[in-house]
Amino acid sequence: MIRAYHIISIILFFPILLVQTTVIPLLVIDTVLPDLILILLVYYSITQGQIYGSVLGFVYGFLIDIITGTTLGSAMIAKTLAGFTAGYFSSENKKDQYLISYNFALIVLVSSLIDSTINAFFSSVNFTANIFMLFFQFALLPAIYTASLALLGMIFYPKRRAF
């Protein structure tokens, strides 16, 4: 059954991708870019569960590959696994705790690490070079940047009231 949040999560993707492809390149720090789509994906994975996170990651990945011209399938696998990982933190009891605390940024960091590592792998990067340097440059730095942005987003997230 299709629910409102299913449609909203897909509709939200397009303005976020618009910002990602036009505004975010202006925030580049030595070729390292944050990934807003991933933040959105992590949010939905935590609130709606692991299966929903995996499927949404699959759909987001497909749309990214189709629209930006990257190898079809690479972002799909990366985002599916990122959504699946973020979904591990989906729990009815702890949902709000994950969303309004610094834990959200940590979950984004873990998911982003998986997303960036798989993307780098599918981009057939030269692995004869120092693997740790490549991991640092391709996965860790974008993940930290994305998590930092998620941390900023926490400021604007409405805190739960006592009653």
Judged by the rule CB under 8 A, the positions of this chain that interact with other proteins are 14, 17-18, 20-23, 25-26, 28, 31-33, 35, 37, 50-51, 54-55, 57-58, 61-64, 66-77, 80-81, 84, 87, 119-120, 122-126, 129, 134, 137-138, 142
Task: Report the residue number, 22 or 93, with the smaller CB distance to other proteins.
Answer: 22
Token pair belonging to 27: 């925030």
**Using CB atoms within 10 A of its CB, is residue 154 exposed (0-12), middle (13-18) or buried (19+)?**
middle
Cβ-based neighbour number of residue 126 at 10 Å: 6
Token pair belonging to 113: 């690490």
CB of 77 to other proteins, least distance (A): 5
Task: Report the residue number, 109 or 119, with the smaller CB distance to other proteins.
Answer: 119
Task: Report the residue number, 5 or 157, with the smaller CB distance to other proteins.
Answer: 5
CB of 162 to other proteins, least distance (A): 34
CB of 119 to other proteins, least distance (A): 6
Residue 84 and residue 50 in contact, taking contact as beta carbons nearer than 8 Å: yes
Task: Report the residue number, 36 or 99, with the smaller CB distance to other proteins.
Answer: 36
Question: Taking each helix axis from N to C terminus, what angle separates 4-22 and 50-68, rounded to the nearest 10 degrees?
Answer: 40
CA nearest neighbour of 30 among 101, 107, 136, 104 = 136
Q: How many CA atoms lie within 13 A of 31 on its CB side?
A: 5
CB of 22 to other proteins, least distance (A): 5
CB of 55 to other proteins, least distance (A): 7
DSSP state for residue 162 in the 8-state scheme: -
Task: Report the residue number, 44 or 58, with the smaller CB distance to other proteins.
Answer: 58
